[in-house]
Structure 1
Amino acid sequence: MTTSTQTFTTTRTSEGAKAILVAACLGLGLVFLAGFSPASALHNAAHDFRHTQNFPCH
């Protein structure tokens, strides 16, 4: 009985860590794609948000 409880806790912890890693990668990817994109349409769409986050854009 102790072994199954220990396995469940380990699996649950590793799934949570994977979810956090995926969310962080997606979030950083969106920030850097919007921040460093040379396309004028994307730049204009993200311009105000970048200034509120103190992200340099010009």
Structure 2
Amino acid sequence: MATKTANIAAVRSNAGAFILVTLVGLGLLTVSGMAQATVLHDAAHDQRHAMAFPCH
């Protein structure tokens, strides 16, 4: 019985993680789809500099 309960808990945990990741991914796609190209370019450019990656 304990194994069955553990399996159900694992499935619920995995389902919750899948739903969370899906919602975050859809949110990122929506935000990036609505953002202007210059905003996305500037964000990527600033991130490169923050990581000390030479970009120009």
Structure 1-normalised TM-score? 0.61
- Identity in percent: 27
Superposition RMSD in Å: 1.6
The yes-or-no answer on 1:25 pairing with 2:7 is no
One-letter identity of the residue aligned with 1:26: V
What amino acid is the match of 2:28? Answer: L
Higher relative contact order structure (alpha carbons within 8 Å, sequence separation ≥ 6): 1
Q: Which runs of 4+ in 1 moved over 6 A?
A: none
Segments of structure 2 that go 5 or more residues without pairing to the other structure are 42-56
TM-score by length of 2: 0.63
| Residue 41 of structure 1, CA deviation | 1.6
Partner residue in 2 for 1:50: none
2:4 to 6, 28, 38: 6
